[in-house]
Amino acid sequence: MSTTIDSGSAASGVSGISGISGTPAAKTEHAAERTGYRVLYAISFAHFLNDMIQSLILAIYPMLKGGFNLSFVQIGFLTMTYQVTASLLQPVVGLYTDKHPKPRSLAIGMGFTLGGLLLLSVAPTYGVLLVAAALVGTGSSIFHPESSRVARMASGGRHGLAQSIFQVGGNGGSAMGPLLAAGIVHKQASLAWFSLAALLAIAVLWKIGGWYAEQIAHRARKGKAGGAVASPVPTRVVVRAMLVLMVLVFSKYFYMASLTTYYTFYLMETFGLARQSAQIYLFVFLFAVAAGTILGGPIGDRIGRKRVIWASILGVAPFTLVLPHVGLFWTGVLTFIIGFILASAFSAILVFAQELIPGKVGMVSGMFFGFAFGMGGIGAAVLGGLADTHGIQTVYQLCAFLPLLGLLAVFLPDLGGKRKAA
């Protein structure tokens, strides 16, 4: 999708609402930019609510483990059910909506999440917990590709910044989930209170869907841009770069799974913390992830996404290698640093991939969000088995080496000048 179409669509939407047709170009551009930011903040807020609900599953693991007498392997498979459901469906949803946009699917996807949340609050058995996790995963698989497309449409050409604004909402929600769970969720049925957040998200996404539909109608009236946009690099370079990006996503999310799924257990076992105290530490880590996310996109817009990818993956390695060997205070400090640095990678990786395969925003977004969730889910299951057999501390000793895969970023092409030429 070209920037010209996106900006024009935004301008058209403003003109239709506020009646500013015929104003000078500068005012029109200013209105378009303002409207774009309103949409970005709205979709980021919806992402906040969506991921806050999803993070509740992670935050209540200690409660579920005790209530249902679960092993670490069963905890891992619960995460895998949720994340693999999302990962398998997201590329399919993205590929379909590239050809057939569905603006109202955003609200419908949140409806699946609402259903999963309510089922989770009353699930009597482990099997029903898995079904509830699958429903939440299905909602995520619908939400992420289309909302990522909305962010790009409203970007005004600042694609990295738009993705960062969109993703920081999700990371902020992931950080708030454990904090709210510590204060509100004292028993399984308490999860139902969060259905109010899901209903609010449905209302916001329904409104965004109306804006999205207006942009589609505007494009239809003006006619689509002619011809498919070619990649700025040869096909063999695209394939190589996509494989490298996938390996980097693997290293990031496999390591992230060790913290998002098992960090509370690590703190409780290693330092004797109570469950609620451990959840506060998890909140601090996820807050760092949210703070770091906002930097990756705009910095990539300025200095190049390859540099951001290189620094955010490989740059975190010294801290991950030290983490398993320090006390409680430095564990909290290091996990904050790790979350902050590592989080800046995904916005840059996603936009880099979108620039490698222009015109396929939904497919690329779905593929990378899906692969990220899939790696997180598989990582949770594999690491759960490792924790059961060798102990939770072994998990962090082995995962500490994963960020060294960031060395592979040297094989990524430089898209700076080539992107402008394309």
The dihedrals phi and psi of 23, each to the nearest 5 degrees, come to -75, 165
pLDDT tens track for 367-412: 777 777 667 767 877 888 888 888 888 888 888 998 888 888 888 8
Instruction: Tell me the mean pLDDT in the region 153-163.
Output: 79
Nearest to 82 by CA among 261, 284, 204: 261
Q: Which of 4-13, 61-70, 185-194, 372-381 has the lowest mean pLDDT?
A: 4-13
Task: Please report, for residues 221, 260, 303, 355, 420, the alpha-carbon distance to residue 416 in angstroms, rounded to integers and kept in the order given.
Answer: 33, 34, 9, 10, 7
Q: Looking at this protein, which amino acid is placed at residue 331?
A: T
pLDDT band at 111 (very low <50, low <70, confident <90, very high): very high
Instruction: Tell me the mean pLDDT in the region 135-160.
Output: 84
Total count of domains within the chain? 1
CATH number, position 283: 1.20.1250.20
Classify the phi-psi angles of 101: left when phi > 0, otherwise alpha if psi is within -120 to 50, otherwise beta: beta
Distance CA 255, CA 320 (A): 9
Distance CA 216, CA 31 (A): 19
Q: Yes or no: say if 288 and 336 are a contact pair by the CB < 8 Å rule.
A: yes
Distance CA 37, CA 42 (A): 8
Half-sphere exposure of 274 (CA within 13 A, CB side): 3
Give the pLDDT score at 96. Answer: 82
* Pair of tokens at residue 401: 């080496």
Flag whether pLDDT at 6 surpasses 60.
no
* Pair of tokens at residue 54: 């999803």
Q: Which of 10-24, 240-254, 257-271 has the lowest mean pLDDT?
A: 10-24
Instruction: Tell me the mean pLDDT in the region 3-22.
Output: 37
List Cβ neighbours of 383 (8 Å cut-off, separation of 6 or more).
Answer: 76, 257, 258, 261, 262, 395, 399
Give the pLDDT score at 373. Answer: 66
Q: Which of 22-26, 199-203, 386-390 has the lowest mean pLDDT?
A: 22-26
Give the pLDDT score at 4. Answer: 35
Distance CA 105, CA 231 (A): 29
Q: Which of 82-91, 144-153, 195-204, 241-250 has the lowest mean pLDDT?
A: 82-91
How many Cβ atoms are within 10 Å of 198's Cβ, its own excluded?
Answer: 22
Q: Yes or no: say if 303 and 174 are a contact pair by the CB < 8 Å rule.
A: no
The dihedrals phi and psi of 24, each to the nearest 5 degrees, come to -60, 155
What angle is formed at CA 86 by the lines to CA 107 and CA 335, rounded to 5 degrees? 105
Please, what is the average pLDDT of the chain? Answer: 79
Classify the phi-psi angles of 327: left when phi > 0, otherwise alpha if psi is within -120 to 50, otherwise beta: beta
Burial of 25 (0-12, 13-18, 19+ CB in 10 A): exposed
Give the pLDDT score at 223. Answer: 61
Which structural domain range is residue 9 located in? Answer: 3-421
Give the pLDDT score at 230. Answer: 64
pLDDT tens track for 293-334: 777 677 777 777 778 888 888 888 899 999 999 999 999 999
Flag whether pLDDT at 113 surpasses 80.
yes
Flag whether pLDDT at 185 surpasses 50.
yes
Q: Where are the alpha helices (DSSP H) in 100-234?
A: 105-122, 126-153, 159-184, 195-222
Q: Looking at this protein, which amino acid is placed at residue 11?
A: A
Give the pLDDT score at 228. Answer: 52
Give the pLDDT score at 231. Answer: 66
Distance CA 300, CA 161 (A): 8
